[in-house]
């Protein structure tokens, strides 16, 4: 292959990669609108407790603060993982994203613990409009975290097997964009659902 052809192909690949990343940004914005709809719904239904418990009776701020810190840390390790991927440091990528995954699983476990506790105490999503909105908003975030974890597991396997080729680095970039996005959504959940919920 001539040098010119090699350059053309490299350009084509770069072009395609930037297109994919841009497309992924647009997807994240659509997801943002989805969450915005759920936030708006939550804001409307927040007071509709229908005689059931309110937010400040249900939420434990220290618990949620730990959840938040766990997720924020996972975002940090995901960032370190991506930097390592850019340096093509395979072991570090595996370590950092592995760590991110563990923190993600820990976060999800905490969230499910909270859900379970509410459920067994009779404060399930059937109880009131407020709780329906709460479970749906926080649960949708949890579902996103779950799909992020599945994606991360697939990526860890792929990197371990195939190394840090262009495709894998591109996908790790998108994965960490996704993960940071979920982090930002969580900040809003922490503020609007929990802090405002407890503060009244």
Please tell me the distance from the alpha carbon of residue 68 to that of residue 57, in angstroms, as a whole number. 20
Residues binding another protein: number (CB under 8 A): 39
Please tell me the distance from the alpha carbon of residue 114 to that of residue 124, in angstroms, as a whole number. 11
**34 part of the interface to another protein, by CB under 8 A:** yes
Angle of helix 61-86 versus helix 90-120 axis, rounded to 10: 160
Q: Which is nearer to another protein, 92 or 132 (CB)?
A: 132
**22 part of the interface to another protein, by CB under 8 A:** yes
Task: State residue 164 phi and psi, 5-degree precision.
Answer: -95, 70
Beta carbons of 63 and 114 less than 8 angstroms apart: yes
Beta carbons of 68 and 186 less than 8 angstroms apart: yes
CA nearest 104: which of 192, 30, 180? Answer: 180
Among 6, 11, 14, 48, binds another protein (CB under 8 A): 48
**63 part of the interface to another protein, by CB under 8 A:** no
**56 part of the interface to another protein, by CB under 8 A:** no
Q: Which is nearer to another protein, 52 or 79 (CB)?
A: 52
Q: Can you give the binding site for another protein, defined by CB under 8 A? A: 5, 8, 12, 18-20, 22-23, 26-27, 29-31, 33-34, 37-38, 40-41, 44-45, 48-50, 52, 125-130, 132-133, 135-136, 150, 154, 158, 171
């Amino acid at each position: 292959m001539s040098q010119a052809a090699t350059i053309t192909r490299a350009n084509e690949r770069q072009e395609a990669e930037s297109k994919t990343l841009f497309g992924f940004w647009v997807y994240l914005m659509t997801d943002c609108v989805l969450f915005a709809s759920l936030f708006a719904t939550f804001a409307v239904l927040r007071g509709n407790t229908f005689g059931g418990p309110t937010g400040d009776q249900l939420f434990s701020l220290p618990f949620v603060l730990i959840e938040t810190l766990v997720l924020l840390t996972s975002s940090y390790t995901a960032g370190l993982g991506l930097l390592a991927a850019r340096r093509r440091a395979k072991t570090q990528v595996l370590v950092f994203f592995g760590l991110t995954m563990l923190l993600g699983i820990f976060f999800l476990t905490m969230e499910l613990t909270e859900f379970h506790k509410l459920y067994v105490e009779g404060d399930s999503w059937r109880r009131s409009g407020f709780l329906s909105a709460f479970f749906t908003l926080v649960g949708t975030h949890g579902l996103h975290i779950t799909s992020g974890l599945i994606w991360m597991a697939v990526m860890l396997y792929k990197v371990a097997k195939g190394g840090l080729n262009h495709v894998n680095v591109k996908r790790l970039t998108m994965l960490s964009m996704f993960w940071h996005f979920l982090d930002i959504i969580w900040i809003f959940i922490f503020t609007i659902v929990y802090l405002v919920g407890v503060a009244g």
